[in-house]
Amino acid sequence: MSFRPHLLAASLALSLAACTSVPLNHLAPRAPTAQTLNTGGTMPAEQAALHFDHADLHFSVDTANQSIDASATLSFTAESAIDVLLLDLDRNLSISGIELDGHSLPAKAWSNPDGRLRITLPATLDAGGKLQATIRYGGEPHVAKHAPWDGGFVWSHTADGQPWVASAVQGEGCDLFWPCIDQPQGEPDLVDTFVTVPRALAAPGNGVLIGVTDEGDKRTWHWRTKHPDTYAIAINVGPFEVLKADYASRYGNRIPMEFWYLRGHEAQAKQLFAGFPRMLDFFEQEIGPYPFGDEKMGVVETPHLGMEHQTLNAYGNNYRKDGYGFDRLLQHEFAHEWFGNQLTNADWDDMWLHESFGTYMQPLYSQYLNGDMDYFSWLRELRLMLRNRHPIVSGNSKTEEQVYDETAGPGQDIYNKGALMLHSLRQLIGDQAFFASIRQLVYSRPDPKPGSFKPRYANTNDYLSIVDQVSGHKLGWFFDVYLRDAALPRLVQRRDGDTLTLRWVTEHGKPFPMPLDVQVGDTVHTLPMNDGTGQLRVPAGSLLIIDPRSKVLRDQPHVEAFQQWTEQHRKRK
Ligand SMILES: [Zn+2]
Protein backbone atom coordinates (compact mmCIF):
# COMPACT_ATOMS: atom_id res chain seq x y z
CA MET A 1 0.00 0.00 0.00
CA SER A 2 2.91 2.37 -0.52
CA PHE A 3 2.08 4.98 2.06
CA ARG A 4 -1.37 3.99 2.79
CA PRO A 5 -3.52 4.73 5.58
CA HIS A 6 -3.96 7.17 7.98
CA LEU A 7 -0.62 7.79 8.96
CA LEU A 8 1.25 10.80 9.50
CA ALA A 9 3.49 9.95 6.70
CA ALA A 10 7.20 10.02 6.94
CA SER A 11 7.53 10.66 10.64
CA LEU A 12 5.51 7.59 11.40
CA ALA A 13 6.97 5.46 8.68
CA LEU A 14 10.18 5.62 10.63
CA SER A 15 8.49 4.16 13.63
CA LEU A 16 7.58 1.01 11.76
CA ALA A 17 11.10 -0.20 11.97
CA ALA A 18 10.63 -0.57 15.68
CA CYS A 19 7.54 -2.78 15.52
CA THR A 20 8.11 -5.87 17.59
CA SER A 21 6.30 -8.43 15.53
CA VAL A 22 6.44 -9.30 11.90
CA PRO A 23 3.88 -11.27 9.92
CA LEU A 24 4.96 -14.83 9.32
CA ASN A 25 6.19 -15.65 5.89
CA HIS A 26 3.26 -17.25 4.26
CA LEU A 27 2.27 -17.69 0.68
CA ALA A 28 -1.37 -17.43 -0.23
CA PRO A 29 -2.41 -19.91 -2.92
CA ARG A 30 -2.74 -17.18 -5.52
CA ALA A 31 -2.32 -13.46 -5.33
CA PRO A 32 -5.66 -11.67 -5.13
CA THR A 33 -6.82 -10.26 -8.44
CA ALA A 34 -6.67 -6.57 -9.26
CA GLN A 35 -10.43 -6.58 -8.79
CA THR A 36 -9.97 -7.74 -5.19
CA LEU A 37 -7.02 -5.51 -4.43
CA ASN A 38 -8.91 -2.43 -5.53
CA THR A 39 -11.56 -0.79 -3.43
CA GLY A 40 -14.07 1.78 -4.59
CA GLY A 41 -14.18 3.37 -8.03
CA THR A 42 -17.32 3.42 -10.11
CA MET A 43 -19.97 1.29 -8.46
CA PRO A 44 -21.58 -1.34 -10.71
CA ALA A 45 -25.28 -0.74 -11.32
CA GLU A 46 -26.18 -4.09 -9.74
CA GLN A 47 -24.59 -2.95 -6.48
CA ALA A 48 -25.98 0.57 -6.64
CA ALA A 49 -29.42 -1.07 -6.84
CA LEU A 50 -29.02 -2.59 -3.37
CA HIS A 51 -29.62 -1.29 0.10
CA PHE A 52 -27.52 -3.32 2.55
CA ASP A 53 -29.71 -3.97 5.59
CA HIS A 54 -27.74 -6.44 7.65
CA ALA A 55 -24.60 -8.58 7.66
CA ASP A 56 -24.28 -11.54 9.98
CA LEU A 57 -20.65 -12.62 9.82
CA HIS A 58 -19.25 -15.79 11.39
CA PHE A 59 -15.52 -16.44 11.49
CA SER A 60 -13.76 -19.38 13.06
CA VAL A 61 -10.12 -18.39 13.21
CA ASP A 62 -7.49 -21.13 12.97
CA THR A 63 -4.32 -19.43 14.10
CA ALA A 64 -2.13 -22.51 13.58
CA ASN A 65 -3.08 -22.87 9.92
CA GLN A 66 -3.62 -19.16 9.32
CA SER A 67 -7.03 -19.77 7.89
CA ILE A 68 -10.66 -18.93 8.48
CA ASP A 69 -13.81 -20.95 8.21
CA ALA A 70 -16.62 -18.49 7.65
CA SER A 71 -20.20 -17.85 6.70
CA ALA A 72 -21.95 -14.61 5.91
CA THR A 73 -25.69 -14.05 5.90
CA LEU A 74 -26.38 -10.82 4.08
CA SER A 75 -29.76 -9.08 3.86
CA PHE A 76 -30.59 -6.55 1.17
CA THR A 77 -33.50 -4.53 -0.10
CA ALA A 78 -33.60 -3.90 -3.84
CA GLU A 79 -33.96 -0.23 -4.68
CA SER A 80 -34.50 -1.12 -8.31
CA ALA A 81 -35.14 -4.49 -9.93
CA ILE A 82 -32.19 -6.93 -10.08
CA ASP A 83 -31.58 -10.33 -11.64
CA VAL A 84 -28.20 -10.96 -10.07
CA LEU A 85 -26.67 -10.39 -6.69
CA LEU A 86 -23.22 -8.94 -7.30
CA LEU A 87 -20.79 -9.07 -4.40
CA ASP A 88 -17.04 -8.78 -3.90
CA LEU A 89 -15.02 -11.61 -2.38
CA ASP A 90 -11.42 -12.73 -2.85
CA ARG A 91 -11.63 -15.83 -5.11
CA ASN A 92 -8.90 -17.45 -2.99
CA LEU A 93 -11.53 -18.00 -0.33
CA SER A 94 -13.38 -20.98 -1.70
CA ILE A 95 -17.15 -21.08 -1.49
CA SER A 96 -18.70 -24.33 -0.30
CA GLY A 97 -22.30 -23.31 -0.67
CA ILE A 98 -24.77 -20.48 -1.11
CA GLU A 99 -28.33 -20.28 0.11
CA LEU A 100 -30.86 -17.76 -1.03
CA ASP A 101 -33.73 -17.08 1.35
CA GLY A 102 -33.03 -20.43 2.99
CA HIS A 103 -32.81 -22.49 -0.22
CA SER A 104 -29.53 -23.99 -1.42
CA LEU A 105 -28.47 -22.82 -4.84
CA PRO A 106 -26.95 -25.17 -7.40
CA ALA A 107 -23.26 -24.48 -7.95
CA LYS A 108 -23.98 -23.29 -11.48
CA ALA A 109 -26.02 -20.39 -10.10
CA TRP A 110 -22.91 -18.56 -8.99
CA SER A 111 -19.39 -17.85 -10.15
CA ASN A 112 -16.41 -15.98 -8.81
CA PRO A 113 -13.73 -15.91 -11.52
CA ASP A 114 -11.94 -12.76 -10.46
CA GLY A 115 -13.18 -11.68 -7.07
CA ARG A 116 -16.56 -10.49 -8.27
CA LEU A 117 -19.07 -12.99 -6.96
CA ARG A 118 -22.04 -13.18 -9.29
CA ILE A 119 -25.12 -14.96 -7.97
CA THR A 120 -27.94 -15.43 -10.46
CA LEU A 121 -31.30 -15.03 -8.78
CA PRO A 122 -33.98 -17.67 -9.54
CA ALA A 123 -36.36 -14.82 -10.42
CA THR A 124 -36.16 -11.06 -10.83
CA LEU A 125 -36.28 -9.23 -7.52
CA ASP A 126 -38.49 -6.17 -7.94
CA ALA A 127 -37.80 -2.82 -6.39
CA GLY A 128 -38.66 -2.95 -2.70
CA GLY A 129 -38.14 -6.71 -2.60
CA LYS A 130 -35.94 -8.27 0.07
CA LEU A 131 -33.26 -10.88 -0.29
CA GLN A 132 -31.15 -12.88 2.13
CA ALA A 133 -28.06 -14.73 0.97
CA THR A 134 -25.90 -17.03 3.05
CA ILE A 135 -22.42 -17.67 1.70
CA ARG A 136 -20.30 -20.40 3.25
CA TYR A 137 -16.63 -19.99 2.50
CA GLY A 138 -13.17 -20.30 3.93
CA GLY A 139 -9.48 -20.67 3.35
CA GLU A 140 -6.41 -18.59 3.83
CA PRO A 141 -7.18 -14.88 3.71
CA HIS A 142 -4.62 -12.68 1.98
CA VAL A 143 -1.66 -12.02 4.25
CA ALA A 144 -0.54 -8.42 4.63
CA LYS A 145 3.07 -7.83 3.71
CA HIS A 146 3.39 -4.51 5.42
CA ALA A 147 0.15 -3.67 7.19
CA PRO A 148 -1.48 -1.28 7.36
CA TRP A 149 0.09 0.06 4.14
CA ASP A 150 -0.34 -3.26 2.40
CA GLY A 151 -3.46 -4.76 3.90
CA GLY A 152 -4.76 -8.19 4.76
CA PHE A 153 -4.36 -10.46 7.77
CA VAL A 154 -1.40 -10.15 10.11
CA TRP A 155 -0.64 -13.47 11.79
CA SER A 156 1.74 -12.56 14.52
CA HIS A 157 2.84 -13.79 17.94
CA THR A 158 3.40 -12.17 21.29
CA ALA A 159 6.82 -12.29 22.93
CA ASP A 160 5.80 -15.47 24.77
CA GLY A 161 4.63 -17.18 21.58
CA GLN A 162 0.87 -16.76 21.75
CA PRO A 163 -1.14 -16.00 18.61
CA TRP A 164 -1.75 -12.33 17.95
CA VAL A 165 -3.88 -11.71 14.89
CA ALA A 166 -5.27 -8.59 13.25
CA SER A 167 -6.82 -7.59 9.97
CA ALA A 168 -6.39 -4.22 8.23
CA VAL A 169 -7.89 -3.85 4.77
CA GLN A 170 -8.51 -0.19 4.05
CA GLY A 171 -6.48 -0.15 0.86
CA GLU A 172 -7.93 -3.37 -0.56
CA GLY A 173 -11.32 -3.44 1.05
CA CYS A 174 -13.65 -5.75 2.95
CA ASP A 175 -13.65 -8.35 0.15
CA LEU A 176 -10.31 -9.68 1.39
CA PHE A 177 -12.19 -11.66 4.03
CA TRP A 178 -15.95 -11.28 3.73
CA PRO A 179 -18.43 -11.00 0.85
CA CYS A 180 -19.37 -7.34 0.70
CA ILE A 181 -19.97 -4.34 -1.50
CA ASP A 182 -16.43 -3.04 -1.63
CA GLN A 183 -17.28 0.64 -1.92
CA PRO A 184 -17.31 3.52 0.54
CA GLN A 185 -21.09 3.56 0.12
CA GLY A 186 -21.42 -0.19 0.74
CA GLU A 187 -22.00 0.18 4.49
CA PRO A 188 -24.57 -2.22 5.96
CA ASP A 189 -27.05 -0.68 8.40
CA LEU A 190 -26.15 -3.29 10.99
CA VAL A 191 -23.39 -5.87 11.36
CA ASP A 192 -23.24 -8.81 13.75
CA THR A 193 -19.82 -10.39 14.02
CA PHE A 194 -19.20 -13.79 15.60
CA VAL A 195 -15.56 -14.70 16.05
CA THR A 196 -14.64 -18.16 17.33
CA VAL A 197 -11.19 -18.57 18.88
CA PRO A 198 -9.41 -20.77 21.44
CA ARG A 199 -10.75 -20.06 24.90
CA ALA A 200 -7.43 -18.73 26.18
CA LEU A 201 -7.61 -15.86 23.67
CA ALA A 202 -9.95 -12.91 23.33
CA ALA A 203 -11.57 -11.53 20.21
CA PRO A 204 -12.58 -7.91 20.76
CA GLY A 205 -14.82 -6.58 17.99
CA ASN A 206 -16.68 -3.60 16.56
CA GLY A 207 -19.56 -2.19 18.55
CA VAL A 208 -21.19 -3.77 21.56
CA LEU A 209 -20.44 -7.21 23.01
CA ILE A 210 -23.73 -9.08 22.78
CA GLY A 211 -22.49 -12.28 24.34
CA VAL A 212 -19.84 -14.94 24.67
CA THR A 213 -20.57 -18.65 24.24
CA ASP A 214 -18.28 -21.59 24.93
CA GLU A 215 -18.17 -24.88 23.12
CA GLY A 216 -15.41 -27.33 24.01
CA ASP A 217 -12.14 -25.47 24.08
CA LYS A 218 -13.51 -22.72 21.80
CA ARG A 219 -15.17 -19.43 22.62
CA THR A 220 -17.33 -17.35 20.32
CA TRP A 221 -17.46 -13.59 20.74
CA HIS A 222 -20.57 -11.90 19.35
CA TRP A 223 -20.37 -8.17 18.61
CA ARG A 224 -22.91 -5.82 17.04
CA THR A 225 -22.36 -2.44 15.40
CA LYS A 226 -24.41 0.03 13.39
CA HIS A 227 -23.33 1.56 10.06
CA PRO A 228 -19.68 0.52 10.11
CA ASP A 229 -17.36 1.61 7.35
CA THR A 230 -16.90 -1.35 5.05
CA TYR A 231 -13.19 -1.54 5.86
CA ALA A 232 -13.80 -0.99 9.57
CA ILE A 233 -14.98 -4.53 10.29
CA ALA A 234 -11.90 -6.11 11.79
CA ILE A 235 -10.72 -9.38 13.23
CA ASN A 236 -8.56 -9.12 16.35
CA VAL A 237 -7.40 -12.15 18.30
CA GLY A 238 -4.87 -12.32 21.10
CA PRO A 239 -4.15 -12.82 24.78
CA PHE A 240 -5.80 -9.52 25.64
CA GLU A 241 -6.76 -8.00 28.95
CA VAL A 242 -9.21 -5.12 28.98
CA LEU A 243 -9.33 -1.80 30.80
CA LYS A 244 -12.84 -0.37 31.09
CA ALA A 245 -14.29 2.87 32.36
CA ASP A 246 -17.23 5.15 31.62
CA TYR A 247 -16.76 8.64 30.27
CA ALA A 248 -19.25 11.28 31.41
CA SER A 249 -19.86 13.30 28.26
CA ARG A 250 -20.57 17.02 28.26
CA TYR A 251 -23.70 16.03 26.32
CA GLY A 252 -25.07 14.13 29.31
CA ASN A 253 -24.56 10.58 28.04
CA ARG A 254 -22.10 8.05 29.42
CA ILE A 255 -19.68 6.49 26.95
CA PRO A 256 -18.08 3.12 27.70
CA MET A 257 -14.32 3.17 27.07
CA GLU A 258 -12.38 -0.05 26.49
CA PHE A 259 -8.74 -0.69 25.84
CA TRP A 260 -7.85 -4.26 24.89
CA TYR A 261 -4.12 -4.51 25.55
CA LEU A 262 -1.71 -7.39 25.42
CA ARG A 263 -1.18 -9.23 28.66
CA GLY A 264 2.09 -7.94 30.11
CA HIS A 265 1.64 -4.35 28.90
CA GLU A 266 -0.50 -3.28 31.84
CA ALA A 267 1.56 -0.35 33.15
CA GLN A 268 1.91 1.35 29.76
CA ALA A 269 -1.67 0.52 28.83
CA LYS A 270 -2.98 2.17 32.00
CA GLN A 271 -1.04 5.30 31.20
CA LEU A 272 -2.41 5.47 27.66
CA PHE A 273 -5.93 4.70 28.86
CA ALA A 274 -5.71 7.54 31.38
CA GLY A 275 -5.50 9.92 28.41
CA PHE A 276 -8.72 8.70 26.76
CA PRO A 277 -11.11 11.09 28.60
CA ARG A 278 -9.12 14.21 27.75
CA MET A 279 -8.94 13.15 24.10
CA LEU A 280 -12.67 12.48 24.02
CA ASP A 281 -13.37 15.83 25.63
CA PHE A 282 -11.22 17.62 23.06
CA PHE A 283 -13.18 16.12 20.18
CA GLU A 284 -16.54 16.68 21.85
CA GLN A 285 -15.65 20.31 22.56
CA GLU A 286 -14.11 21.15 19.19
CA ILE A 287 -16.13 18.96 16.82
CA GLY A 288 -19.21 17.53 18.54
CA PRO A 289 -20.63 14.41 20.19
CA TYR A 290 -18.66 11.18 19.91
CA PRO A 291 -20.64 9.49 17.13
CA PHE A 292 -20.82 6.00 18.63
CA GLY A 293 -21.47 6.80 22.27
CA ASP A 294 -24.21 4.18 22.50
CA GLU A 295 -21.66 1.52 21.51
CA LYS A 296 -18.21 2.32 22.86
CA MET A 297 -14.95 4.10 22.41
CA GLY A 298 -12.63 1.15 21.86
CA VAL A 299 -8.98 0.52 21.17
CA VAL A 300 -7.12 -2.74 20.64
CA GLU A 301 -3.40 -3.37 20.54
CA THR A 302 -2.34 -4.64 17.11
CA PRO A 303 0.80 -6.07 15.50
CA HIS A 304 0.50 -3.37 12.82
CA LEU A 305 0.76 0.37 13.32
CA GLY A 306 -2.87 1.40 13.30
CA MET A 307 -6.21 1.77 11.54
CA GLU A 308 -9.48 3.56 12.14
CA HIS A 309 -11.63 0.52 12.83
CA GLN A 310 -14.93 1.93 14.01
CA THR A 311 -15.37 1.70 17.81
CA LEU A 312 -12.23 -0.48 17.98
CA ASN A 313 -9.28 1.54 16.75
CA ALA A 314 -6.20 -0.48 15.96
CA TYR A 315 -3.24 0.72 17.99
CA GLY A 316 0.31 -0.49 17.34
CA ASN A 317 2.44 2.51 18.21
CA ASN A 318 4.23 0.79 21.09
CA TYR A 319 3.39 3.56 23.55
CA ARG A 320 5.91 5.82 21.84
CA LYS A 321 6.34 9.38 23.08
CA ASP A 322 7.27 12.35 20.89
CA GLY A 323 7.26 15.38 23.14
CA TYR A 324 3.76 16.63 22.30
CA GLY A 325 2.16 15.02 25.33
CA PHE A 326 -0.16 12.57 23.57
CA ASP A 327 0.01 9.52 21.36
CA ARG A 328 -0.14 10.83 17.79
CA LEU A 329 -1.10 7.52 16.26
CA LEU A 330 -3.95 6.91 18.67
CA GLN A 331 -5.21 10.48 18.34
CA HIS A 332 -5.09 10.32 14.55
CA GLU A 333 -6.97 7.04 14.30
CA PHE A 334 -9.48 8.24 16.87
CA ALA A 335 -10.09 11.39 14.79
CA HIS A 336 -11.41 9.06 12.08
CA GLU A 337 -14.40 8.19 14.26
CA TRP A 338 -15.62 11.65 13.14
CA PHE A 339 -13.79 11.93 9.81
CA GLY A 340 -14.15 8.56 8.13
CA ASN A 341 -16.65 6.61 10.22
CA GLN A 342 -19.37 9.15 11.12
CA LEU A 343 -18.69 11.19 7.97
CA THR A 344 -17.67 8.86 5.14
CA ASN A 345 -16.36 10.05 1.79
CA ALA A 346 -18.89 9.41 -0.95
CA ASP A 347 -16.04 8.36 -3.22
CA TRP A 348 -12.34 7.82 -2.55
CA ASP A 349 -11.72 10.93 -4.66
CA ASP A 350 -13.03 12.81 -1.62
CA MET A 351 -10.67 11.02 0.75
CA TRP A 352 -9.14 14.29 1.93
CA LEU A 353 -12.34 14.65 3.96
CA HIS A 354 -11.02 11.75 6.06
CA GLU A 355 -7.33 12.45 6.08
CA SER A 356 -6.94 16.23 5.95
CA PHE A 357 -9.32 16.71 8.85
CA GLY A 358 -7.91 13.59 10.55
CA THR A 359 -4.40 15.02 10.28
CA TYR A 360 -5.38 18.55 11.29
CA MET A 361 -6.67 17.15 14.58
CA GLN A 362 -3.12 16.51 15.85
CA PRO A 363 -1.90 20.14 15.63
CA LEU A 364 -5.29 21.26 16.91
CA TYR A 365 -4.98 18.92 19.89
CA SER A 366 -1.45 20.19 20.49
CA GLN A 367 -2.81 23.72 20.62
CA TYR A 368 -5.61 22.64 22.95
CA LEU A 369 -3.16 20.91 25.30
CA ASN A 370 -0.10 23.10 25.18
CA GLY A 371 -0.67 26.25 23.16
CA ASP A 372 0.60 27.83 20.00
CA MET A 373 4.21 26.69 20.04
CA ASP A 374 3.20 23.04 19.77
CA TYR A 375 0.51 23.84 17.20
CA PHE A 376 2.90 25.62 14.86
CA SER A 377 5.62 23.05 15.44
CA TRP A 378 3.20 20.40 14.17
CA LEU A 379 2.19 22.45 11.15
CA ARG A 380 5.84 23.03 10.34
CA GLU A 381 6.47 19.26 10.39
CA LEU A 382 3.65 18.83 7.91
CA ARG A 383 4.85 21.69 5.72
CA LEU A 384 8.14 19.98 5.00
CA MET A 385 6.34 16.92 3.61
CA LEU A 386 4.21 18.51 0.86
CA ARG A 387 4.62 17.22 -2.67
CA ASN A 388 2.25 19.35 -4.75
CA ARG A 389 2.52 17.08 -7.79
CA HIS A 390 -1.13 16.21 -8.30
CA PRO A 391 -4.34 17.89 -7.14
CA ILE A 392 -5.96 16.59 -3.98
CA VAL A 393 -9.31 16.21 -5.75
CA SER A 394 -9.63 15.07 -9.38
CA GLY A 395 -13.39 15.37 -9.81
CA ASN A 396 -13.61 11.76 -11.05
CA SER A 397 -14.50 8.56 -9.25
CA LYS A 398 -11.33 6.94 -7.86
CA THR A 399 -10.24 3.74 -6.22
CA GLU A 400 -8.35 4.10 -2.99
CA GLU A 401 -5.27 2.78 -4.80
CA GLN A 402 -5.42 5.61 -7.33
CA VAL A 403 -5.59 8.22 -4.60
CA TYR A 404 -2.45 6.82 -2.96
CA ASP A 405 -0.58 6.41 -6.21
CA GLU A 406 2.06 9.13 -5.94
CA THR A 407 2.74 9.02 -9.69
CA ALA A 408 -0.81 9.99 -10.65
CA GLY A 409 -2.72 10.86 -7.51
CA PRO A 410 -2.33 13.16 -4.53
CA GLY A 411 -0.81 10.53 -2.23
CA GLN A 412 0.33 11.98 1.07
CA ASP A 413 -0.91 15.46 0.19
CA ILE A 414 -4.40 14.39 1.25
CA TYR A 415 -2.95 14.36 4.78
CA ASN A 416 -0.43 17.15 5.09
CA LYS A 417 -1.36 19.66 2.43
CA GLY A 418 -5.03 19.30 3.27
CA ALA A 419 -4.35 19.86 6.97
CA LEU A 420 -2.36 23.02 6.19
CA MET A 421 -5.14 24.18 3.88
CA LEU A 422 -7.57 23.81 6.80
CA HIS A 423 -5.28 25.92 8.95
CA SER A 424 -5.41 28.65 6.28
CA LEU A 425 -9.18 28.32 5.95
CA ARG A 426 -9.52 28.76 9.71
CA GLN A 427 -7.48 31.97 9.54
CA LEU A 428 -9.55 33.22 6.62
CA ILE A 429 -13.06 32.63 7.98
CA GLY A 430 -12.41 32.66 11.73
CA ASP A 431 -12.90 30.02 14.40
CA GLN A 432 -16.65 30.35 14.66
CA ALA A 433 -17.37 29.72 10.99
CA PHE A 434 -14.57 27.17 10.69
CA PHE A 435 -15.83 24.92 13.46
CA ALA A 436 -19.45 25.46 12.40
CA SER A 437 -18.51 24.23 8.93
CA ILE A 438 -16.95 21.09 10.39
CA ARG A 439 -19.99 20.37 12.54
CA GLN A 440 -22.30 20.74 9.55
CA LEU A 441 -20.06 18.49 7.47
CA VAL A 442 -19.80 15.76 10.09
CA TYR A 443 -23.37 15.70 11.37
CA SER A 444 -25.46 17.36 8.61
CA ARG A 445 -26.75 19.74 11.26
CA PRO A 446 -25.44 22.63 13.34
CA ASP A 447 -26.63 21.37 16.71
CA PRO A 448 -25.81 17.65 17.02
CA LYS A 449 -26.80 15.84 20.20
CA PRO A 450 -26.37 12.14 20.92
CA GLY A 451 -29.14 10.36 19.06
CA SER A 452 -29.94 13.27 16.73
CA PHE A 453 -27.73 12.18 13.81
CA LYS A 454 -26.62 9.12 11.85
CA PRO A 455 -23.44 8.31 9.93
CA ARG A 456 -23.48 10.13 6.59
CA TYR A 457 -21.70 10.36 3.26
CA ALA A 458 -20.41 13.60 1.81
CA ASN A 459 -18.28 14.72 -1.11
CA THR A 460 -15.98 17.65 -1.69
CA ASN A 461 -18.66 19.92 -3.13
CA ASP A 462 -20.88 19.29 -0.11
CA TYR A 463 -18.19 20.76 2.11
CA LEU A 464 -17.57 23.70 -0.21
CA SER A 465 -21.26 24.61 -0.12
CA ILE A 466 -21.24 24.39 3.66
CA VAL A 467 -18.26 26.74 3.92
CA ASP A 468 -19.96 29.28 1.64
CA GLN A 469 -23.10 29.07 3.70
CA VAL A 470 -21.60 29.36 7.19
CA SER A 471 -19.00 31.99 6.25
CA GLY A 472 -21.36 34.08 4.12
CA HIS A 473 -18.70 34.31 1.40
CA LYS A 474 -18.18 32.61 -1.92
CA LEU A 475 -14.93 30.76 -1.31
CA GLY A 476 -14.81 28.52 -4.37
CA TRP A 477 -11.58 30.30 -5.43
CA PHE A 478 -9.86 29.11 -2.25
CA PHE A 479 -10.62 25.44 -2.84
CA ASP A 480 -10.13 25.68 -6.60
CA VAL A 481 -6.49 26.49 -5.98
CA TYR A 482 -5.72 24.34 -2.94
CA LEU A 483 -7.71 21.23 -3.91
CA ARG A 484 -7.89 21.33 -7.71
CA ASP A 485 -4.46 22.71 -8.61
CA ALA A 486 -1.33 20.74 -7.87
CA ALA A 487 0.95 23.72 -7.29
CA LEU A 488 0.62 26.01 -4.31
CA PRO A 489 -0.20 29.67 -4.90
CA ARG A 490 2.95 31.74 -5.27
CA LEU A 491 3.45 35.27 -4.01
CA VAL A 492 5.45 37.53 -6.33
CA GLN A 493 7.04 40.60 -4.75
CA ARG A 494 8.30 43.72 -6.49
CA ARG A 495 9.91 46.83 -5.05
CA ASP A 496 9.75 50.23 -6.78
CA GLY A 497 11.41 52.72 -4.47
CA ASP A 498 9.33 52.66 -1.27
CA THR A 499 6.45 50.79 -2.88
CA LEU A 500 6.07 47.07 -2.37
CA THR A 501 3.74 45.32 -4.82
CA LEU A 502 2.52 41.82 -4.04
CA ARG A 503 0.77 39.57 -6.51
CA TRP A 504 -0.66 36.06 -6.25
CA VAL A 505 0.21 33.71 -9.09
CA THR A 506 -1.62 30.40 -9.46
CA GLU A 507 -0.83 27.37 -11.57
CA HIS A 508 -3.61 27.90 -14.09
CA GLY A 509 -4.15 31.62 -13.71
CA LYS A 510 -7.15 31.12 -11.46
CA PRO A 511 -8.14 34.12 -9.33
CA PHE A 512 -6.83 34.01 -5.77
CA PRO A 513 -8.02 36.98 -3.73
CA MET A 514 -6.37 35.77 -0.52
CA PRO A 515 -5.90 38.57 1.99
CA LEU A 516 -2.40 38.89 3.32
CA ASP A 517 -0.88 40.30 6.48
CA VAL A 518 2.32 42.27 6.05
CA GLN A 519 4.31 43.62 8.95
CA VAL A 520 6.18 46.85 8.32
CA GLY A 521 8.11 48.06 11.33
CA ASP A 522 5.78 47.60 14.31
CA THR A 523 2.57 47.62 12.31
CA VAL A 524 0.74 44.70 10.73
CA HIS A 525 -1.25 45.71 7.65
CA THR A 526 -3.85 43.46 6.09
CA LEU A 527 -3.89 43.73 2.32
CA PRO A 528 -7.25 42.62 0.91
CA MET A 529 -5.63 41.43 -2.37
CA ASN A 530 -9.07 41.61 -3.98
CA ASP A 531 -7.78 41.34 -7.54
CA GLY A 532 -4.88 39.17 -6.42
CA THR A 533 -2.58 42.14 -5.93
CA GLY A 534 -1.78 44.64 -3.21
CA GLN A 535 0.53 47.58 -2.60
CA LEU A 536 2.13 48.95 0.49
CA ARG A 537 4.60 51.70 1.35
CA VAL A 538 7.72 50.15 2.82
CA PRO A 539 10.46 52.73 3.49
CA ALA A 540 13.97 51.51 2.76
CA GLY A 541 15.54 49.79 5.72
CA SER A 542 12.19 48.95 7.41
CA LEU A 543 11.53 45.63 9.02
CA LEU A 544 9.36 43.69 6.57
CA ILE A 545 7.70 40.35 7.31
CA ILE A 546 5.22 38.82 4.90
CA ASP A 547 2.48 36.82 6.63
CA PRO A 548 4.03 37.22 10.08
CA ARG A 549 1.51 34.88 11.79
CA SER A 550 1.91 32.11 9.18
CA LYS A 551 -1.72 32.17 8.09
CA VAL A 552 -1.44 31.38 4.40
CA LEU A 553 -0.26 28.13 2.84
CA ARG A 554 1.86 29.15 -0.16
CA ASP A 555 4.82 28.20 -2.23
CA GLN A 556 8.04 28.67 -0.29
CA PRO A 557 11.21 28.15 -2.31
CA HIS A 558 13.32 27.53 0.79
CA VAL A 559 11.15 24.55 1.70
CA GLU A 560 11.54 23.06 -1.75
CA ALA A 561 15.28 23.66 -1.61
CA PHE A 562 15.38 21.77 1.68
CA GLN A 563 13.31 18.90 0.27
CA GLN A 564 15.60 18.60 -2.75
CA TRP A 565 18.70 18.66 -0.58
CA THR A 566 17.24 15.98 1.71
CA GLU A 567 16.35 13.80 -1.26
CA GLN A 568 19.82 14.09 -2.80
CA HIS A 569 21.39 13.36 0.56
CA ARG A 570 19.21 10.27 0.96
CA LYS A 571 20.12 8.99 -2.51
CA ARG A 572 23.83 9.46 -1.87
CA LYS A 573 23.55 7.43 1.30
ZN1 LIG B 1 -5.81 8.60 8.68
Ligand 1 centre distance from Cα of residue 277 (Å): 21
Ligand 1 centre distance from Cα of residue 510 (Å): 30
Confidence of residue 422 (pLDDT cuts 50, 70, 90): very high
Instruction: Read off the pLDDT of residues 39-51 as tens digits, 9 standing for 90 and up.
Output: 888 899 999 999 9
Ligand 1 centre distance from Cα of residue 401 (Å): 15
What is the spatial distance between Cα 17 and Cα 66, in angstroms, rounded to a whole number? 24
Ligand 1 centre distance from Cα of residue 382 (Å): 14
Q: What is the pLDDT of residue 297?
A: 98
In the chain, helix, strand, coil percent, each to 5?
25, 30, 40
Q: Is the pLDDT of residue 488 over 60?
A: yes
Ligand 1 centre distance from Cα of residue 352 (Å): 9
Q: What is the pLDDT of residue 489?
A: 98
Q: Do the beta carbons of residue 145 and residue 227 sit within 8 Å? A: no
Instruction: Read off the pLDDT of residues 32-84 as tens digits, 9 standing for 90 and up.
Output: 998 888 888 889 999 999 999 999 999 999 999 999 999 999 999 999 999 99
What is the spatial distance between Cα 503 and Cα 492, in angstroms, rounded to a whole number? 5
Instruction: Read off the pLDDT of residues 271-305 as tens digits, 9 standing for 90 and up.
Output: 999 999 999 999 999 999 999 999 999 999 999 99
Confidence of residue 5 (pLDDT cuts 50, 70, 90): very low
Ligand 1 centre distance from Cα of residue 241 (Å): 26
* Residue-averaged pLDDT of the chain: 93
Q: Is the pLDDT of residue 18 over 70?
A: no
Ligand 1 centre distance from Cα of residue 536 (Å): 42
What is the spatial distance between Cα 231 and Cα 228, in angstroms, rounded to a whole number? 8
Ligand 1 centre distance from Cα of residue 333 (Å): 6
Ligand 1 centre distance from Cα of residue 340 (Å): 8
Give the residue-averaged pLDDT of 457-475: 98
Ligand 1 centre distance from Cα of residue 308 (Å): 7
Ligand 1 centre distance from Cα of residue 455 (Å): 18
- Give the 3-state secondary structure of residue 362: helix
Q: Is the pLDDT of residue 573 over 90?
A: no
Ligand 1 centre distance from Cα of residue 355 (Å): 5
Ligand 1 centre distance from Cα of residue 392 (Å): 15
- Give the 3-state secondary structure of residue 526: strand
